[in-house]
Structure 1
Amino acid sequence: MHLTFRNMTEQDGADVWTIVKETGVLDVNSVYAYLMMGKYFPHTCVVAEYNGKICGFITAFLPPGKPDTIFVWQVGVANTQQGKGIGKSLLRFLMTRDVCRGVRFLETTISPSNRPSESLFRGFARDWKTGCRVTECFPVELFLDGAHEAEMLFRIGPFSQLNC
């Protein structure tokens, strides 16, 4: 399987939204949210393509006031391509980009029932030989009518050397 990786663009927003919707695991945001991520964060949002079609993506950004941290908002892989290491390859591609040169930590939030994402990020920490600390980020009480699980913050790092 030959994958290509590139910056996400606003033109990718609808395709990314479709992948999110089809996974049945990720929170489905508006198409507009994905258009915005591609337009305003193209260096930290990336897509994977197989035969010219998007089969995976990462939406991420550098949080204001935390120049040593990248926050990964979502990682999604098309159902037909899951289990092939695409999520892991996307994370590696993102972390070795110039925009991550000063990054020492990766943060993401994961719902307790999302075992595939937890496995991806714990495995990422293991592969990069660094720590993974988990704390509660958004308690269930913050969500309307308790209609969403709590979101746990995974803080991975420190990374000693990126872009290798």
Structure 2
Amino acid sequence: MPADDTTDKKHQDDDLTLRKPESQDGPRVHQLIAECKPLDENSVYCNLLQCTHFADTSVAAELDGDLVGFISGYLPPKQQDTLFVWQVAVHEKARGRGLAKRMLAALLERDEAADVRYIETTITPDNEASWGMFRSFAYERRMPTEEFILFDSRLHFAGQHQDEHLLRIGPFNRDDA
């Protein structure tokens, strides 16, 4: 596939391409997330919005034409220096390649992330894969981290969902990312 303005040119190898998502990726993202437990599934419509409204702060990964990775993120309106990572999905056939960290790095290298100094995400206590990936990403770049409960199980989820811990990485300079 030739690189165009939606492809992250520095993050393309022979069989794996990282690019901005497009509207037609919505159903594929929905299917990918369904196959990546324990991620919370959203509606296809939500995934369409992630692939369109938030394309500049999201990334799709393709392997041999299949969607095998996706990060959805956005810049919170009152925190324009923060990339909030909503979800990270990596299909089992693409695991073990450092894909999640590669997608995150690709996001930070985009012009749209020029002012980003922090990464934030929420993670449930038992999601060891997410904790490991984000902590490793921060450690490799010597970025400080902090953590606290953002959404309490009892208060925000009526006991129907685990606590969501906020992990904050940064501050960092764009050159450090």
Same fold (TM over 0.5): yes
Structure 2: how far apart are the matches of 1:163 and 1:123? 15
Greater shift, 153-162 or 130-139, is seen at 153-162
**Offset of residue 163 of structure 1:** 7.7
Match of 1:94 in 2: 107
Quote the Cα distance in structure 2 between the aligned partners of 1:22 and 1:74: 13
Could you say which residue in structure 2 is the equivalent of 1:6? Answer: 19
Moved over 4 A (4+): none
Task: Specify the code of the residue in structure 2 equivalent to 1:88.
Answer: K
1:45 matched to 2:67? The reply is: no
Residues of 2 paired with 1:163 and 1:16: CA distance?
A: 30
Say whether residues 1:156 and 2:175 are aligned partners: no
Match of 2:117 in 1: 104
Shift of 1:98: 0.6
Q: Is the 8 A contact 1:41 1:61 kept in 2?
A: yes
| Cα distance change, pair 143–65 in 1 and its aligned pair in 2 (3 A) | closer
State TM-score, norm by structure 2: 0.88
Aligned-CA RMSD value:
1.4
Counterpart position of 2:45: 32
String of CA shifts for 1:22-72, please: whole Å, max 9, x gaps: 111111111111001111111111101111211101000000011111100
| Corresponding position of 2:35 | 22
Paired residue for 1:68? 81
Instruction: Answer with 105-114 or 142-151: which moved more.
Output: 142-151
Q: Which moved more, 1:145-154 or 1:112-121?
A: 145-154
In the TM superposition, what whole-angstrom CA distance separates every residue of 1:99-120 from its partner, at most 9, and x where no partner exists? 1111000000000010000000
Unaligned runs of 5+ in 2: 1-13
Q: Residue type of the partner of 2:58?
A: C
The structure-2 alpha-carbon separation of the partners of 1:92 and 1:83, relative to structure 1 and needing over 3 Å to count, comes to: same
Q: Structure 1: which 5+ runs fail to align?
A: none
**Number of residue equivalences:** 164
Q: Does 1:137 align with 2:150?
A: yes
